[in-house]
Structure 1
Amino acid sequence: MLSRASAWRLLTGRLGWSLQRTERRAVEGDESEIVRWIAGGDDPVSAGGGQIVDTARQTG
């Protein structure tokens, strides 16, 4: 079993992970814009049709 320090070195050094934290959060939201965004289907994740594509296995 790895110690915390060894696990951190493995994740950051060899696997390229980084500690990601948000810089700031919105204090208030524009409700009308949120409703428009939800109703409009502007979600880039769902725009792909919900399919997961493994680009590493695609050839040519």
Structure 2
Amino acid sequence: MLSKELKHLEENELISRKVYDDYPARIEYTLTDYCLSVTEVLEAMESWGKQHRELIKKK
């Protein structure tokens, strides 16, 4: 199941996969620049969520 999800993320250019020629085999996954481009949007959503939570707590 995990390998299927990783493959899906790689196909959608959200992660990159690097295979090292080691024994035992080692594979490293990293976030792509494309994936990281959504960081500002996520930070804005987090900020909004915190403000909204404070508003709701005041009720």
TM-score, normalized by length of structure 1? 0.30
Q: Which has the higher contact order (CA 8 A, sep 6+)?
A: 2
Structure with greater proportional strand content = 2
TM-score, normalized by length of structure 2? 0.30
Structure with greater proportional helix content = 2
Structure of greater Rg: 1
